[in-house]
Amino acid sequence: MAHVININSPDTNYGIVIESHLITEIEHHYRKYELGGRVAVVTNEVIAPLHGERLVNALPDATLITIPDGEDYKTMETVTDICRQFARNGLDRKSLVIALGGGVVGDTAGFAAASYMRGVTLVQMPTTLLSMVDSSVGGKVGVDIPEGKNLIGAFNQPDLVLIDTSVLETLPENEWKNGMAEVIKHAFLADEGLFNTALHTRAKAVELVSRAVQVKVDVIVQDPYENGIRAYLNLGHTFGHAIELVTQFAVPHGQGVSMGLMAAVKLSHRLGLCEESLIDRARDALVDVGLPITTGGIDSEAIYAAMLTDKKWYKGRSRFVLLRDIGDPLIMEGVSKDDVIAILDDMK
C-alpha cells in the first residue's frame, strides 16, 4: 500500500509517493505517473545496473544517462555533460527528467533539469535513505565549487517524488547509517517518535521514511524558499558541511551531519539554551545507529574557516540553528568564534 504525502502551498503542489517495490508498479502502470512521454533517466554508474536499466526498460520512450559516482562529480562540468546528453538524445521542453539516485544525482540532475531549455519537468526518485528523507523533497538543487557546498544552485520543485523503499535492500550499511543522521535530525526538530529504535530497520522503511518526510513537508509548505523557518532543517549542517569541505568529502554527508548535530546540541547547552540531558539524548541516539559523535581530530580552526562560506551566514556574521529542546529549534546570530572553537576542540 502506497503512502502518499501531498505538498500544497501557494508556490508549489506535488505528490510524494512512498511504497515498497514501486519500480515494479511503474513497469505495469507508467501512465498512472505520467511517464509515457520522452524521458531521460539520470543516474550514476553504481545505480544504473541495479535499478536504472530496469526503469528505462519499463518506460516506452526513455534513455539512460549515467554520471560518475561521488561528491567529487557534483560540479558544473557534470551539469554541462548531462545537458549535452539531453540535447543529443532529443529532449525538448515537453520532455521529463527522472533523477534516480542519491543526493548527488538528485541535486546535479535536478539542476540540469532546471537549466536545460530554461527548465523541463523533473521527477525525483531517490535510492538512498539520506536522499529519501531529505534532498529529494523541497526543491533544492545545485552543485559544489571548491569554495563551498551547494554554492551554485536553484529552487526547482519536482513535479513528483517517487520513493521505492525496496531499493534500500541493496543499500550498503554505511549509507543506511548516513541516512539515519537526517532521520535523527528530524526527530530533534519535530517527531520524537523517530528516536524509537524499533523503526530503525529496513523492514520498517515505509513508516520510517514517511514520518521523516512529513517533518520536512510540514516545514517547507510554510516556507518553500527558506526565508524563515525552513532554515531549521539545517540543524547540524553548518558544522557538517564545513567538516565535509575540510576533509575534501572524505567525511560523507551523513557522518558530517552526525558530528554537526552533536556540535549544535553542545553549543546550545554552552550558550544556556538547553539542559545537559539533551546532549545525552543526542549522544545515545547517534551512537545507537553507529554514527560518529567526535570530529576525530580535525583541525578546529580549519572547520571554522570553512564555515565562513556557509550560505546561512550574513555579512560574515555567524548564524546557527540551535535547540532549546526537542521540537523547539531557533536561529541564533552572532555566536562568538571562541564558543564555536571550544565546542570543536571538545569534540576532537
Strand, coil or helix: 77: helix
58 in the Ramachandran plot: left (φ > 0), alpha (ψ -120 to 50) or beta? alpha
- β-strands 13-19, 3-8 pairing: antiparallel
Nearest of 242, 233, 239 to residue 214 by alpha carbon:
233
* Contacts of 85 by beta carbon, 8 Å cutoff, 6+ apart: 40, 65
* Straight-line distance from the first to the last Cα atom of the chain, in angstroms, rounded to the nearest whole number: 46
CA distance 345 to 348: 5
Cβ atoms 146, 98 nearer than 8 A: no
Strand, coil or helix: 250: coil
Catalytic site positions = 118, 140, 182, 216, 226, 230, 234, 237, 241, 253
